[in-house]
Structure 1
C-alpha cells in the first residue's frame, strides 16, 4: 500500500488441509517449533504440518513413491544460511519418484531452491505458499519431470518463481526429457533476479514439450538488469528442443523489465556443445495492465556451423495498457535471427539470412 516492495505485508488465505484418516508418518503439531535437520520420506510415507507449527530443516525423498507433504504449517529454511547470504539445501526435494503430493504448506526463507521435483512423474503441488528473499531462492523448479500439476500457489521469489529445467539437481537422472507440465491459477511475485514463468536455462535433455501456463496473475516482475529478467521467458542454453508451449489467460500488473524473452544462446550456464531449438509457442489472452510498457526480445543463435532460429511463435489477443498488439513493432519487440511470428492471424515473416 505504501509502494515499498522491500517490506511487504503478505496476507495469505489457504484452504484447510486435513490429515489423512489412516494417519500420518510424521505429525508436526500446532504451537510447536521443530528442528528436523534432513527428514527423508520413504515410499508410502507422509509428513503433516499442522497449522501453527514451524518445521526447521528440509523434507525430501530419494527413489520413493506415493510421498505426501501436506498441512497448513510452515517449513522454514532460515536455519540453512546466514541471514543475508544465500546458501543451504533444497527445502522440499523429491528425486526419482512417482505420485508425489505437496499441498497447503508455506515454505519460508530458504537460501536456495524451495520446492524441487527432479526426475519424477505424477507430481501435484497445490495451494503452496513460497516466500524467499535471497538470490537463487527459486520458488518451484520442475527438473526433468513428466506429468506435473502446479495450481493455486502463491510465490514471492527472489529468483525464478516457476522454472522448468533438465539438469543434475537434485541428481544426474534429472537430465531427462520434460513433458506434460501444467501451471494454473497461481499468483506470482518475481523480485529482482530471475523470471516469473521460466523455461531454462539448464535444458540438458532432448525435449521439453507440452507445457501450459494458464490463468495466472503476475503482480510484480521487478527489474533485474541482466540478460534474463522477464515475465514469460524461454532461455534455451543447451541442446533441448522446446516446443508445444502455451501461455494463456495471464494477467500482468507490474512488469519492470521484459514481457516476453525468448533466447537461444551460449552462456555461463551452458554445458552441451550444441544449441537446441524453440518452436510452436503460443501467447493467448495476455493482459498487461500496469503503468509500464515492457519491451520483448526474441533472439536466435548462429555460428559458423550452427544455426537455430525460434519459429512458429503466435500472439493472440495480447493487450498492453488496453491496446491489442498486432505486430512486433507495436509490442516493442526486438527480433533477431527469428522468423514465423504471427499476430492475431497476421504473419510477420523475417526471411533467413544465409
Structure 2
C-alpha cells in the first residue's frame, strides 16, 4: 500500500509541476471600465502552449503631448511559456515589428495577426506599419509572489473594482507607516497615493492608478517600495519623490501625455533603486535633482537598471537642473544607469535635448555618474549625449558648479535622427572634466573626438577620453 501511495504522489508531482510552470493569470476588468476605457484597434489573445486561447482586455492609453493619440495596453502574468496572438483590426498590415529590438522577437504573420512566444517577462511595443503612436503595449509580468492577506490589519487592500477616495473622488489616499498597499490586478484606483513623513511602506500588486493628479508621492519618507503597478495618464508626475531615502521602484509601467507629466522625478533623494520599469512619458522619463520646492539636500546612490524608456517629449534621462543656491550648492553623486533600452526621444528645443543628459545648474556639483550597456533606437529629434554646465534662466537661480568623473560604456545608437552630442562647460568655475567614452557606437561606428558631425567638445572641458572596447 505504501508503494502505491508513493507512486501516486510521484505521478501527481510529475503532472502538477509542469502545469504550475505554465501558469497564466488574466485579471478581471472592473464593470465601470469595460466600455469607457477599451480600445478596439487590436484583439489580443494568450494561451499556454496547446491550450485554449484567452482574450485580454485592451485598455486605452493616451500618449504624446505634441499630438495626443489613443494607443492600447494589455497585461497578464505567466510562468514557463506563453503564446501570444495580436490582431490589428483596422486596415491592412504591410509590416510589423516588436520592440525593444534588442529582444530580437521575430513574430509570425498570418494576414492581420502576429503570433509569437515568450519564455520570460517582457514589456513590449508592438507596432504595425511603422506606427509608434497608435501601437499596442504588452506587459507580460512574472507571477506574483507573497500576495498579502486582505484581512491583515497592516494591509490596505484594493480588490477588483473601481476605488476613489471617500471625501473627494479623484483626490488622495494617504498611506500611514508600516502598511502594505495591495492593488489587485482587477482593481482601478482613481486618486493618487501619498506617502508623506512615513516609513516602511509597500505599494504592490498588478492594478492600475487611473488618471490621478499624480500617481504616487513619496516625500520626507524612508523605506518605500513600489512594485508591479500601472499608472495611466496622470495630470502631473507618475512618481514624485522629495527628500526621501531607501526608495525602490520595480516593474512600474507608466503612460502620460500632459504638460509636466514626467515619469519618475526625484528631488533630494538618496539610496534609490529603479529596476525593470517601462516609462512612456511626455516629459522627462527619469529626472534626478537636488533642492526643489520643499525638498533640500543632494542626491546620491541611485541605480536605474533593466528598464525601457520612451520620451515622447524631453529627456529619457536627465540629471541636475535644480539645486540650492543659498550657500555652496548641492552634490549629486554615485549614480548609475545600466542595461536600458531607449525607444524614443523627440525634443525640438536644443536646450532640452539629450537621451543621456546632465544639465548642471543651480550650483550643483555632479560627479561619479556611469552610463553602461544602453541601447538607443532611432528617434525623432534630439541628441544622444548632452553634458553641460549651464545657467537656464527659466528654471535656475544660479549657474551650475562642476560635472566630473562621468563614464559612458557600451552605448549604441542605431538611427538617423540625432543632432551632434555636446560636452560643454560654462566658465573656469563651471567645468566639465574627467569624461570617458568607451565603446560608444553610432550605427556600429566607434565614436571619436574627430567626428564633429556626431559630437562637439565645447569650451571649459578637461580630460575627455574616447576609448575602444
Range class of TM-score, shorter chain: 0.7 to 0.9
CA 1:209–1:331 in 2, change beyond 3 Å: closer, same or farther?
farther
Secondary structure in structure 2 of the residue aligned to 1:230? coil
Alignment root-mean-square deviation, CA: 2.0
Contact 1:202-1:269 at 8 Å conserved across structures: no
Residue 15 of structure 1 is aligned with which of 136, 142, 156? 142
TM-score between both structures, scaled by the size of structure 2? 0.67
TM alignment of 1:137-156, pairs within 5 A: 137-156=261-280
CA 1:13–1:203 in 2, change beyond 3 Å: closer, same or farther?
farther
Q: 2:129 corresponds to which residue?
A: 2
Q: 1:206 corresponds to which residue?
A: 330
Contact 1:17-1:70 at 8 Å conserved across structures: no
TM-score between both structures, scaled by the size of structure 1? 0.87
Q: Does 2:151 correspond to 1:27?
A: no
Which structure 2 segments of 5+ residues have no match?
Answer: 1-127, 166-170
Q: 1:343 corresponds to which residue?
A: 466
Residue 383 of structure 2 is aligned with which of 258, 282, 293? 258
Q: Relative to structure 2, which stretch is displaced further, 275-284 or 219-228?
A: 219-228
Residue 223 of structure 2 is aligned with which of 99, 107, 111? 99
Query: Bigger radius of gyration, 1 or 2?
Result: 2
Bigger share in helix = 2
Q: 2:121 corresponds to which residue?
A: none
Runs of 4+ in 1 over 4 A off after TM superposition: none
CA 1:328–1:278 in 2, change beyond 3 Å: closer, same or farther?
farther
Q: Does 2:310 correspond to 1:189?
A: yes
Render the CA deviation track for 1:57-112: whole Å, top value 9, x for unaligned.
100111100011110000112xx5xxxxxxxx432011111111000000110121
CA 1:59–1:166 in 2, change beyond 3 Å: closer, same or farther?
same
Residue 411 of structure 2 is aligned with which of 272, 286, 294? 286
Shift of 1:20: 2.3
Render the CA deviation track for 1:217-237: whole Å, top value 9, x for unaligned.
001112333411220000012
CA 1:269–1:149 in 2, change beyond 3 Å: closer, same or farther?
farther
Contact 1:15-1:104 at 8 Å conserved across structures: no
Secondary structure in structure 1 of the residue aligned to 2:199? coil
Contact 2:364-2:402 at 8 Å conserved across structures: yes
CA 1:236–1:263 in 2, change beyond 3 Å: closer, same or farther?
same
Cα distance in 2 between the residues matched to 1:7 and 1:152: 23
Contact 2:360-2:400 at 8 Å conserved across structures: yes
Contact 2:389-2:399 at 8 Å conserved across structures: no
Secondary structure in structure 2 of the residue aligned to 1:224? coil
Shift of 1:215: 0.4
TM alignment of 1:271-310, pairs within 5 A: 271-302=396-427, 307-310=429-432
Which structure 1 segments of 5+ residues have no match?
Answer: 81-88, 347-354
Matched residue pairs, number? 328
TM alignment of 1:13-162, pairs within 5 A: 13-18=140-145, 19-21=147-149, 23=152, 25-30=155-160, 32-36=161-165, 37-77=171-211, 89-162=213-286
Residue 313 of structure 1 is aligned with which of 430, 435, 443? 435
Shift of 1:240: 1.2
Cα distance in 2 between the residues matched to 1:197 and 1:299: 18
Contact 2:292-2:322 at 8 Å conserved across structures: no
Secondary structure in structure 2 of the residue aligned to 1:227? helix
Q: 2:63 corresponds to which residue?
A: none
Contact 2:321-2:396 at 8 Å conserved across structures: no
